[in-house]
Amino acid sequence: MRIAAFSDIHSNSIAFRACLKEARKIGFDACALLGDFVSDCAYPERTMELIEEIKSMYPTEIIRGNREEYLLNHLKNPNDGWKYNSRTGSLLYTFERLPNETILSFENMPIGKRVSFSGYPPFEIAHGSFSKSRAMVIPGHGDAEEMFSSMQTNLALVGHTHYMFIMQRGKKTIANAGPIGVPSRNLPGACFLMMEAVSGVWRPTLHRVQYDVDRVIREMDESGLTQKSNVWARGIKGMLKTGREYLLEVIDLVNILSKQANLPMEDERLWEEAARRLGL
């Protein structure tokens, strides 16, 4: 049996289709979807339609990520200050393109779960960790050590950090499928994970796929997302092209400038200055 795991799609349906095409060449029998399906790229409804297509074709385990939680919270609290600007414009664009029923469906998805297929060893899936969707499960971080301690099986699949890896502690393994939608660590392209049961043990392998990044950027422009999220969209475009983590750099710089100028982080002048300094 082979299982394909996809994480951090971030509305990039073009990259998602490229990963699916490659995974189908390899062949798989079931699918795990590890959260952060939407936001950041254009036309989130296309990604959700593709997820529904997958669910109709394969046994599919699905969990929500922190981006789905943001949308759920906004649906319940629409007066949270979201506006079309560099800080929240991408989220608001995503929210307004998805029907309420789709957003409400995220509430039925757990943030982590144990998965078992008859005749095969069980494993666990999470977006961040089993208790926090934004946990930083990466090598050397305390959240990773906490997850190893809380694992009830010998394998856990995670996402969230946009960091593709496989790490082990004794007989336990944590594998991150890597990001599909928005690359990082100076490694452009889309990532996914395949795993196969060999002699009663799951063996994960990591895969990277190249796709039409220029088309993704054109969709951001034509859909109005670039205009509505301004510097955030420019950071996403830079990440799509290079894998450089522009948004983390922008947010850190805006936070510093905000304190220096005693201005709220929503102030577009701060974002524009951060973009200028980073060459966006």
Quote the tokens at residue 229.
Answer: 């999220």
Please compute the mean of the pLDDT values over residues 131-149 and round it to a whole number: 95
Residue positions counted in the chain = 280
Q: What is the pLDDT of residue 65?
A: 98
Q: Tens digit of pLDDT for each residue in 190-238?
A: 999 999 999 889 999 999 999 999 999 999 999 999 999 999 999 999 9
Secondary structure, 3-state, 78-127: CCCCCCCCCCCHHHHHHHHHCCHHHHHHHHHCCCEEEECCCCCCCEEEEC
Percentage above 90 pLDDT, the chain: 99
List the beta bridge partners of residue 5. 32, 193
What is the mean pLDDT of the segment spanning 86-109?
Answer: 98
Res 200: pLDDT: 87
Q: What's the gap between Cα 249 and its chain centre?
A: 18
> For 148-195, what is each residue's pLDDT tens digit?
999 999 999 999 999 999 999 999 999 999 999 999 999 999 999 999
Q: Which two tokens stand for residue 223?
A: 């859909």
Structure tokens at 183: 């690359």
Q: Would you say 12 and 180 are in contact if contact means Cβ atoms under 8 Å apart?
A: yes
CA atoms within 13 A on the CB side of 23: 29
Q: What is the pLDDT of residue 190?
A: 98
Structural domains of the chain in order of their starting residue, each with its CATH number: 2-209 (3.60.21.10)
